[in-house]
Amino acid sequence: MLLAGPVARAETIYSVQKIGIPEGASYSRGVALNDHGQMAVTTGSAGYRWAPGTGFTPLGSATTESRGVYVQDINNSGHIVGYETAGDWSEHAFDWNGSFTDLGNLDPSPNGQNPLAQAKGINDNGWVVGNSKVFVNFTPFRHVLSMESLARPGSHGYAIDVNSSNVIAGTVSDWSYVAHAYKWWPDGTYTELGTGGVAAINDLGQVAGSTTTGRACVWDADGTLRTYGILPYSQQSSSAARDINEQGQVVGYSRNSGTGIHDRRYATLWDPDGTIHDLNTMTANLDGWKLVEATGINEAGQICGYGSADQYAGSDQQAFLLTPIQMVMSSEVVSTPDGPALRLSWPAGDTTAILQASDSLEPGSWSEVTTGIVVEGSEFVHSVPLGPEHPPRQFFRLYRP
């Protein structure tokens, strides 16, 4: 969190843990995170459950001649849901907790083809949601004791996530193939939220997703749409939300226009009020590594995703876990013999913290403040002269290397 102006706030920075790459894989990506810090991880066509202290547990496969296992979500019991593509190209929705449970399908032979079913989300009640092909249309489903279809007011429907109240959020394409966000209630009725795509729903009923114009957004519980922005970097063109926690914190990415190495993404955090942060500027130990996309956030504020040596999806991708560290820096405007000044202060006992300043939010623009820091009682203090003859730098932060 960046600090500017006469306010006092807790500054959150994050320690970065690269969780590694499983043996035999070339990369890893964090997909979803539960409140115990367990993560659903993909390596492309294989799925894993990663846990602090125990590392990677491979899911393996349930079908013969498996073409891939694709993990989508994890709940607080460690159950992972997703889908597996079999050798005959059929897709099987599953719930895994040490072994696979095939959740079935809505149509065993859609339009004379092999069945297709994908599980997308799971809550702590064991409800699983996803989509299954019926004839030629993808249809949203919920699975409690068995798979049952949800109303599909359009051409294709996808149930994406379900909260602890068993309220389901998802996306329906209308007959012109425009995406619309929906909620399905436990009684099977539904409410349209507006155009856009859904990524997640929290226990307050807030739905995170993206508008059809390429901006991260949140639909509040009353249906009010709040559109979020992009990072203030050159060539930034769009943003997308991937998850939301009960505090209303949203994670995802902000990206440049372009493809390949020009598709540069920045792992992003939005505060509940919509304030945007580049997570690369809020970390304590990146060491030149880049956080590309944030995909999950839990109730402790931990964040998962993936990073690389560059700001795009290169071949060196690796899943990460960010853990918040609270550091307090206060500021106030004070009078001095030389005129008004911005007084910054933080605990003198925190000798590892470095005060940095920047004229912008661009990565690489931060520099250490090496002069003018004094000890006053139990605090470090740095004063910044104000006024037209002393234009201050706009942003300050505490950084722990």
Q: In this model, does residue 261 exceed pLDDT 90?
A: no
Tokens of 192: 């349209």
* Mean pLDDT lowest among 72-76, 78-82, 297-301, 386-390: 386-390
Q: In this model, does residue 392 exceed pLDDT 60?
A: no
Q: In this model, does residue 4 exceed pLDDT 50?
A: no
Cβ contact 307:287 at 8 Å: no
Tens of pLDDT, residues 92-142: 999 999 999 999 999 999 999 999 999 999 999 999 999 999 999 999 999
Three-state secondary structure call for residue 181 = strand
- Mean pLDDT value across residues 229-234: 88
Characterize 261-300 residue by residue with b for buried, 16 or more Cβ atoms within 10 angstroms of its Cβ, and e for exposed.
Answer: eeebbbbbbbeeeeebbbbbbbbbebeebbbbbbbbbbee
Q: In this model, does residue 6 exceed pLDDT 70?
A: no
Quote the pLDDT of residue 5.
31
d(CA 105, CA 2) in angstroms, rounded, equals 48
For the chain, which domains are there? 14-323 (2.130.10.10), 328-399 (no CATH)
156-162 β-sheet, strand order: 156-162, 168-173, 179-184, 190-195
Share of the chain above pLDDT 70, in %: 89
Non-local (6+) Cβ contacts of 48 within 8 A are: 22, 28, 40, 41, 42, 56, 57, 58, 59, 71
Q: How confident is the model at residue 387 (pLDDT cuts 50, 70, 90)?
A: confident
* Mean pLDDT lowest among 75-84, 207-216, 312-321, 373-382: 312-321
Of 196, 193, 162, the C-alpha closest to 72 is 162
* DSSP letter assigned to residue 65: T
- Mean pLDDT value across residues 186-190: 96
Quote the pLDDT of residue 340.
86
10 vs 400, which has greater pLDDT? 400
Tens of pLDDT, residues 316-326: 899 999 988 76
Could you tell me the pTM of the whole model? 0.80
Strands 354-358 and 367-368: antiparallel
257 vs 154, which has greater pLDDT? 154
Instruction: Return the bridge partners of 15, or none.
Output: 323
- Mean pLDDT value across residues 356-363: 72
